[in-house]
Structure 1
Amino acid sequence: MTDQALPHAAIADATAASSFDTALAASGPRRWLRHFDRALIALVECACALLLAVEIVVLLAGVVFRYALHQPLVWSDELAGMLFLWMSMLGAVLALRRGEHMRMTAFVSRLSPQRRALVDTLAIVLSIALLALVLWPAYDFAAAETVILTPALQISDAWRAFALPVGAALMLLVGLIRLAQVGRMRDIAIALAFVGVVAGAIAWAAPALPDLGKANLLIFFVGVVAIGIFSGVPICFSFALATFGYLSLTTDTPLEVIVGRMDEGMSHLVLLAVPLFVFLGLMIEMTGMARAMIQFLASLVGHVRGGLSYVLIGTMYLVSGISGSKVADMAAIAPVLFPEMKRRGADEGDLVALLSTAGAQTETVPPSIVLITIGSVTGLSISALFTAGMLPALVLALMLCFVVWLRYRKEDLSRAQRFNGREIGRMFIAAFPALALPFVIRGAVVEGIATATEVSTIGIAYSVLIGLFVYRRFAWSRLPRMLIDAATLSGAIIFIIGCATAMAWALTQSGFSQDLASLMTSLPGGSSSFLALSIVVFIVLGSVLEGIPAIVLFGPLLFPIARAAGVNEVHYAIVVILSMGVGLFSPPFGVGYYSACAVSRINPDAGMRPIVGYMSALALGLILVAFVPWISTGFL
């Protein structure tokens, strides 16, 4: 889930803009800046679309040559990795421009328009400050890579590494443009003064910071991160600010090392699957495959009490994780099901509550991007995670179905349409190509036939063929925008992984991981206490940080502790992901809940009461999964 990173509408809507600002808005420099901004973003969008398209072609060619022609292209993964890093950094630029970097707005949104304008301006200034800090170390890091040759292509690794300083420079430029375009002069002056005072105070206190020892962890990784997140600064920039501040002021670590850790986090080969699955999800929606699945499931159980609610849960289970975005999953389902459910008299608050909790329930359904991420940062087998994730999600789905049965057991079915066997058969035949895709993807990875990256390219090719020749619904004109959207979402995901990886490394170097391990292994009750505490911690983290940053930040720290406590690491991964899913979709802080409301066009207040029952069912299911490890590991 992503929330708006820099929601400048509050700034634009502020009623206290000065006459000077109004005059400046109509001035020549402001118009010139707007034209330059549009040209720059158009250029970056074209580059992103081209990079992702070429990456898909290269990886698909690698699959064809490896499995069909038995002549592997040894350079395909290496070239795809280079393209991927460039696409990720340029996608992060677009995410900053669009306001799609993950951020928390629960507190900022409650401010008055004038105060929110000031806080949003401060968020932009802090983001710019971070990018200015990153730029020179990123250049030094890329320049140092010039002497390194890639194994297969035998070219300088600087061709790949310079994506970092170029991306940082473009983000810095975009941030400055946005500040000039939408910031009020008074707010900019106050924000700059605040940052200057804080920087001066830190510089004054810098000589004393190394003597504080572990207290610096509270100052930077609790204080700085919390202030940044709750002020609406994008989570990735909050992480990076804390990391750069801690290492530069309290240690002798060269700042290029931090950029190197970011590069390491963003360049993991497993992450190549992220933009491909995001694009595949968009393909499924565009070709009509998602609608075909929903219509078939509705024909099976739509005539029973609560039938369409069961269809919603089942469809979320089938399509979940393929798009890489829960918003995309929900957006493919809600417009198809909700009108008919409302026609039958369903309460809109109950609908959005069920949609939200169904999103939490399916967090472990492969090919979940969170599963792929946790595998990349912990070294766990993706195949094992895919196998382990299916049954726990099914257990939670059954818990939700029980609540649906309780609530809809007296539903009026007089308006429900019942289909005969022949009609159901026709719908099954129409939906079969769409129904087969999720099972083919999951089966190929679980059985070790192909990697997650390879199977995503196969899925894209399959969707193209099905859209062209089966459903005959393929909008070529939408492809460029789909490529850009996939690159933007992927850029936001990958950049936060890089920042969180650097922060996790800094925490490890500080000795925090050893202290945390000692604390959690000393808890009475052994593995049971460890699991119970982990559930609580990750529910809270899921509501504040969302799944991917929390996973990347705490995964390397807690998984060795889980192993020492006697908890199966695959089982622990499933418990952690489900816990974060519950937090992510739980009001009042979980941004997933508000995303479900936005997709459904339903007021968030309407779902507050109905969601309690569904969340209680999820909590019981989570406890069952956590303390019955066989549910996760029985088929490994």
Structure 2
Amino acid sequence: MTPVLTHGAADAPPAARRPLGVLAQRVENGLGLAVDAVAGSLVLVEIFVLLAGVIARYVFQKPLVWSDELASLLFLWLSMLGAVVALRRGEHMRMTGLVSRVGPRAQALLETLALTVPLAFLAMVLWPAFEYASEEMPVVSPAMEISNGWRATAIPVGLGLMAIMALLRLARLHEGRRIAVAVGITAALTALLWFAGPSLVPLGKLNLVIFFVVLVAACVFGGVPIAFSFALATFAYLGLTTRTPLLVMVGRLDEGMSHLILLAVPLFIFLGALIEMTGMARAMIQFLASLLGHVRGGLSYVLVGAMYLVSGISGSKVADMAAIAPVLFPEMKARGAKPGDLVALLSATGAQTETIPPSIVLITIGSVTGVSIAALFSGGLLPAVVVGAFLCTVVWWRYRKEDLSQVRRFTKGQITRFFVVALPAILLPFVIRAAVVEGVATATEVSTIGIAYSVIVGIFIHRQFDIKRLPGMLVETASLTGAIIFIVGCATAMAWGLTQSGFSQDLAAWMQSMPGGAAGFMLVSILAFVVLGSVLEGIPAIVLFGPLLFPIAKAVGIHEVHYAMVVIFAMGIGLFSPPFGVGYYGACAISKIHPDEGLPHIGGYILALLAGLAVVAAVPWISTGFLK
């Protein structure tokens, strides 16, 4: 089940029965096809630009100095237009656990509010977005020497198109009376916050609870998409309780969506689709099933191991999941695995493998705290194995009674033949990692080598390459990219808002005053970073709190590498745990499984992660034993 903006049984009649709905459908189709075409084309252009940069630099020894700049410019447009495509398709991540449990009328109203609330935010943020783009006009890029306004304009254009799509979806999917009620509720709540603004200012840091806990929770559990919940809370907090110009928030949104390393996300999503289309996925699954198919939970063990092997290649955990899930999940579902359990395990492995080099989180810690990056790389391998062992224990327990009576057991000769057929697919992760290690390509560019490799294998070895499927794959890639990157951007803006409140300094001072010495400080750090990871993501949390807390850890006698591993795992657990962890929704988007389906299954895996974290925290040697 795709994580979509679902609609209840009490929704309006089909568009064909209502003139306004018919018109909205026609406009949406026409505009949607145009946006789809541009967004899909941008994915293809990004692939060629980055691949050309690799070839020019490594083969011809003549680097294209403008390739990264052009890729960055196009990436913001891809992300914003992809977010438009995702809104049109209803693919922005949201929680519908509460929505699905209320009556038909209440459910229909909440579904309508899930469009009117984002629409209110989009209407309010459009002018600051245009102001921000205007402010960026005088800035000139160093290599291409063009105005940065060309890149920044993607934000107001994307936000404006999202507003139009939201209006069209309202007209197409909901009746006029319900739209009027939802608009009235949204307007009333907006007015209430606006008039309460002067009363909120004297509350100081209590506003953090009001906006980033109460308001975010109300929006999330009410079914508003996660990204818009984060963005609305940040916009309201800054606009009502501070004197910060709102175009600054747009700048933080831009900053969060513009990290070049995030470009690996769409490329690995497309690579995953390409692996399936060329038959490489089928060949790999056939070999893995023949090897471990007769073992209870065998493919779940393969998922844990596969995430360990590919983790860190792209620098983005979502990209890592995109390289694995499309390959393994179809066969696992065919063998009876519950989709909710699959996405829960995938999310848990995302947290488990955060310390595996070359991890962008490790690099960030080293850069902001002065800890040796080489030491962090050496210390990150074994902790992930320990935590992975706990996940495998849960897999064993859940699948200990799996019915294998219909599972065929293959001979050694058959397994060998499957291995030969699957060898090109098995070699792909090693080709990608070798390209990074040998300096052939950066973590951002390396996926293009994987794409070129997969195309060659599909055409000349497997002889399976359906070019008619490419447009759909490109648009799907753009949609998933937009949904994921827009959440990252909104989370980054929210993290900046928390920073400006002085929350980070207050938290560091409070943690330092806790009793219990090293053990007490470690326990408080774990609790704090689980929460911070769910709200801020890994990199923003490290940038905010790393320089403050690592000196304290060293002062109380905790080895810096050991503390780094504990902190990373704690943040990972927060990042990949619902209801606030955006990593969990990224796993759902990649898996095309509704977030609600994973909720009943993820509890056991979170307990396993916590148990593994406790062992890593209690035994420093796991993190420091291999340091020189």
Taking structure 1 as the reference length, the TM-score comes to 0.84
**Could you say if the C-alpha distance between residues 596 and 165 of structure 1 is closer, same or farther in structure 2, counting changes exceeding 3 Å?**
closer
Which residue pairs with 2:156 in the alignment? 165
Match of 2:236 among 229, 234, 245: 245
Match of 2:247 among 250, 253, 256: 256
Moved more, 133-142 or 360-369: 360-369
Moved more, 296-305 or 589-598: 589-598
Distance 1:98 1:625 in 2: 42
Match of 1:360 among 334, 339, 348: 348
Distance 2:476 2:390 in 1: 34
Q: CA deviation at 1:554?
A: 3.8
Q: CA deviation at 1:599?
A: 5.5
Q: CA deviation at 1:537?
A: 5.6
Distance 1:478 1:446 in 2: 33
Distance 2:258 2:402 in 1: 52
Correspondence 1:77-226 to 2 at 5 A:
77-226=68-217
Distance 2:23 2:425 in 1: 48
Contact 2:391/2:609 (CA < 8 Å) preserved in 1? yes
Other structure's SS at 2:199 match: helix
Distance 1:407 1:172 in 2: 45
What do residues 258-281 of structure 1 show as CA deviations (whole Å, max 9, x unaligned)?
Answer: 111111221122222221111112
Which residue pairs with 1:299 in the alignment? 290
Contact 1:363/1:393 (CA < 8 Å) preserved in 2? no
Contact 2:49/2:67 (CA < 8 Å) preserved in 1? yes
Which residue pairs with 1:436 in the alignment? 427
Which residue pairs with 1:324 in the alignment? 319
Moved more, 180-189 or 502-511: 180-189
Paired AA for residue 511 in structure 1: G
Correspondence 1:49-88 to 2 at 5 A:
49-88=40-79
Match of 1:575 among 560, 569, 576: 569
Contact 1:539/1:579 (CA < 8 Å) preserved in 2? yes
Q: Within the alignment, does 1:624 sit opposite 2:611 as a pair? A: no
Which residue pairs with 2:258 in the alignment? 267
Other structure's SS at 2:263 match: helix
Extract unaligned runs of 5+ from structure 1.
343-347
What do residues 7-40 of structure 1 show as CA deviations (whole Å, max 9, x unaligned)?
Answer: 2x21xx207x6xxxx5986243321221110011
- What's the % identity of the aligned pairs? 51
**Could you say if the C-alpha distance between residues 378 and 178 of structure 1 is closer, same or farther in structure 2, counting changes exceeding 3 Å?**
farther
Q: CA deviation at 1:555?
A: 4.2
Distance 1:600 1:181 in 2: 23
Contact 1:360/1:582 (CA < 8 Å) preserved in 2? yes
What do residues 181-202 of structure 1 show as CA deviations (whole Å, max 9, x unaligned)?
Answer: 2223232222222222223323
Which residue pairs with 1:563 in the alignment? 550
Which residue pairs with 2:331 in the alignment? 336
What do residues 358-378 of structure 1 show as CA deviations (whole Å, max 9, x unaligned)?
Answer: 541344548999955886799
Which residue pairs with 1:282 in the alignment? 273
Count of aligned positions = 612
What do residues 157-190 of structure 1 show as CA deviations (whole Å, max 9, x unaligned)?
Answer: 1111110110011011111111122223232222
Other structure's SS at 2:268 match: helix
Q: CA deviation at 1:98?
A: 1.6
**Could you say if the C-alpha distance between residues 479 and 444 of structure 1 is closer, same or farther in structure 2, counting changes exceeding 3 Å?**
same
Distance 1:151 1:175 in 2: 37
Distance 1:502 1:312 in 2: 33
What do residues 441-500 of structure 1 show as CA deviations (whole Å, max 9, x unaligned)?
Answer: 234435655321121111111111111112222221111111111111111121122212
Q: CA deviation at 1:590?
A: 7.1
Which residue pairs with 1:494 in the alignment? 485
Correspondence 1:299-448 to 2 at 5 A:
299-303=290-294, 307=298, 310-311=301-302, 313-315=304-306, 317=308, 324=319, 326=321, 329-339=324-334, 341=335, 353=341, 356-357=344-345, 359-365=347-353, 372=360, 391-402=382-393, 417-445=408-436
Q: CA deviation at 1:508?
A: 1.0
Contact 1:362/1:393 (CA < 8 Å) preserved in 2? no
Which residue pairs with 2:557 in the alignment? none
Q: CA deviation at 1:565?
A: 3.6
Contact 2:531/2:571 (CA < 8 Å) preserved in 1? no
Paired AA for residue 356 in structure 1: A
Q: Within the alignment, does 1:517 sit opposite 2:508 as a pair? A: yes
Distance 2:451 2:374 in 1: 20
Q: CA deviation at 1:322?
A: 8.1
Contact 1:240/1:502 (CA < 8 Å) preserved in 2? yes
**Could you say if the C-alpha distance between residues 403 and 379 of structure 1 is closer, same or farther in structure 2, counting changes exceeding 3 Å?**
same
Other structure's SS at 2:230 match: helix
Contact 2:340/2:597 (CA < 8 Å) preserved in 1? no
Other structure's SS at 1:583 match: coil
Moved more, 282-291 or 411-420: 411-420
Q: Within the alignment, does 1:14 sit opposite 2:10 as a pair? A: yes
Taking structure 2 as the reference length, the TM-score comes to 0.85
Q: CA deviation at 1:253?
A: 1.6
Extract unaligned runs of 5+ from structure 2.
554-559
Distance 1:226 1:197 in 2: 19
**Could you say if the C-alpha distance between residues 276 and 258 of structure 1 is closer, same or farther in structure 2, counting changes exceeding 3 Å?**
same
Which residue pairs with 1:345 in the alignment? none
Correspondence 1:521-532 to 2 at 5 A:
521-526=512-517, 528-532=519-523
What do residues 483-522 of structure 1 show as CA deviations (whole Å, max 9, x unaligned)?
Answer: 1111111111211222121221121111111111112232
Q: CA deviation at 1:558?
A: 3.6
Distance 1:208 1:597 in 2: 44
Other structure's SS at 1:524 match: coil
Q: CA deviation at 1:105?
A: 1.9
Q: CA deviation at 1:399?
A: 3.1
Q: CA deviation at 1:147?
A: 1.5
Distance 2:37 2:364 in 1: 29
**Could you say if the C-alpha distance between residues 370 and 127 of structure 1 is closer, same or farther in structure 2, counting changes exceeding 3 Å?**
farther
